[in-house]
Amino acid sequence: MNALTAAPNIAASITRPFIAFEQASVTFGRGEKAVQALQPTDLTISEGDFVALVGPSGCGKSTILKMVSELLKPSSGYVFIGGREIGANPIRIGMAYQNPTLLPWLNIRDNVMLPLKIVPPFRGEFSAKRKGEFRDRVEALLAQVGLSGFGDKYPWQLSGGMMQRANLCRALIHDPELLLLDEPFGALDQFTREELWAIMQDLWLSKKLTVLLVTHDLREAAYLANRICVMSARPGRILDDSPVDMPRPRTIEMTFQPDFVALNQRLRAMIVGARGGTGIVNHPPGQG
């Protein structure tokens, strides 16, 4: 626990960078129609870290996420994951979007099991273990997010918050080394969202995985993350990279304490500045 709470300064940390962006930029389209989505960016995330990306909409947060998940290649520069350039890395990734996209024809258990059917080494054992070991594994994970007994239900029988819990389970069932979250709690009401923050924190503390969270919600970022990266308006770049020095496990009450509020306000001011594009805030980006 202590090692995790005391991992603020990543540049000085000795753990090897798990994710490293080296002057990675993304441009969509060509010629005159080309739109730069992400300016050349440096970013390193060490193993076991929890990093939040915040910023105005369309700032390239999701672009960064897509590069990490190999859905998008950088137009220039490099992205390394686990020490290898993307495209060649064998690490397991879990992903959860705001839209839970559970498959309506499968019950929750089979929905959560889906990655085991696809990701090696589980896929080779799928038919043999789906009724035994894998089923227990799913039940255990469902219990951890407060969904025990819901395995037989279908997605449409669940509330939005419950679907999002199942979605988290699906993103975690195959023991990913890296979890990517793209505004996963954005569509939920305040109280459900706070409940899920607590669940997310518990999952992270118990599984020791690396998490990259994209969010609009500054309280969410501050509650969950070890580090918050603020991005500028398109074309995106990282304006600020601040550690969140709060002990774990954090509570919702802590988000109303003065240092928390001060942090939120500082981040908020930066994003407001970034939205206006006035460049009021002139922090050196990241490790710059």
Q: Which residues bind another protein (CB under 8 A)?
A: 66, 69-71, 93-97, 99, 101, 103-105, 114-115, 117-119, 154, 156, 170-171, 174, 180
Q: How many CB atoms lie within 10 A of CB 62?
A: 20
* Rounded Cα gap, residues 96 and 91, in angstroms: 17
Closest approach of another protein to the CB of residue 39, in Å: 23
Closest approach of another protein to the CB of residue 102, in Å: 9
Nearer to another protein, 10 or 181 (CB): 181
Closest approach of another protein to the CB of residue 71, in Å: 6
Closest approach of another protein to the CB of residue 135, in Å: 18
Q: How many CB atoms lie within 10 A of CB 262?
A: 10
* Rounded Cα gap, residues 201 and 215, in angstroms: 15
Closest approach of another protein to the CB of residue 148, in Å: 23
Whether residue 114 contacts residue 103, with contact meaning beta carbons closer than 8 Å, is answered with yes
Nearer to another protein, 54 or 95 (CB): 95
The set of residues, in sequence order, having a beta carbon less than 8 Å from that of 212 and lying 6+ positions away, is 19, 45, 51, 53, 64, 65, 68, 178, 179, 180, 181
* Rounded Cα gap, residues 191 and 196, in angstroms: 9
Structure tokens at 150: 């819901």
Which stretches of the chain are assigned E, i.e. beta strand?
17-28, 35-46, 50-54, 76-81, 84-85, 93-97, 178-182, 210-214, 227-231, 238-243
Nearer to another protein, 95 or 244 (CB): 95
* Rounded Cα gap, residues 46 and 48, in angstroms: 6
Nearer to another protein, 117 or 129 (CB): 117
* Rounded Cα gap, residues 158 and 164, in angstroms: 10
Nearer to another protein, 2 or 156 (CB): 156
Closest approach of another protein to the CB of residue 264, in Å: 28
Nearer to another protein, 114 or 281 (CB): 114
Q: How many CB atoms lie within 10 A of CB 164?
A: 27
Closest approach of another protein to the CB of residue 175, in Å: 12
Nearer to another protein, 66 or 165 (CB): 66
Structure tokens at 8: 């603020």
Whether residue 224 contacts residue 205, with contact meaning beta carbons closer than 8 Å, is answered with no
Closest approach of another protein to the CB of residue 65, in Å: 9
Nearer to another protein, 155 or 273 (CB): 155
